[in-house]
Amino acid sequence: MGIDRPIVGLSDDSESTTGLGSRFSEELVRPVAESTLLETVETMAARSDEAVQKQEYLALAASQAAMEIELSPAETDEHETYEQVTSRIEDLRSRIDVPLEEFEDELADSLT
């Protein structure tokens, strides 16, 4: 499963991107103020980072669930990898802006 990266389209006129808009996360038409361009790039970078963090969170949550099935509660308390995975999940929970409960609900809905 790949990660969708945001793409900013930059053109000389609005006509040149007609029909291509669905390929871009954001479209800018020249001339573009430097502040607008920088703000757009920063916004797209933040979206990309969040997508990577969400994907990592889901992968780790799946690993954690598999370990919880395979290991007894006493074994999980002493399992170094389980502790590392749990710690990273907690770290990601604190970083991701969107409440993960909403994200998890959306994921569950998409799987049913």
Query: 24 near 18, Cβ under 8 Å?
Result: no
Say yes or no to pLDDT of 80 above 80. Answer: yes
* 57 close to 93: Cβ distance less than 8 angstroms: yes
Task: Give the global pTM.
Answer: 0.58
For residue 14, the tally of other CB atoms under 10 A from its CB is: 10
pLDDT of residue 57: 87
Q: What is the pLDDT of residue 105?
A: 66
Q: So what's the pLDDT on residue 79?
A: 93
Distance CA 31, CA 11 (A): 9
Question: What gap in Å lies between CA 23 and CA 1, rounded to an integer?
Answer: 19
Q: At what angle do helices 34-70 and 100-111 cross, to 10 degrees?
A: 70
Given a cut of 50, whether residue 75 has pLDDT beyond it is yes
Question: From CA 73, how far away is CA 67, in angstroms rounded?
Answer: 10
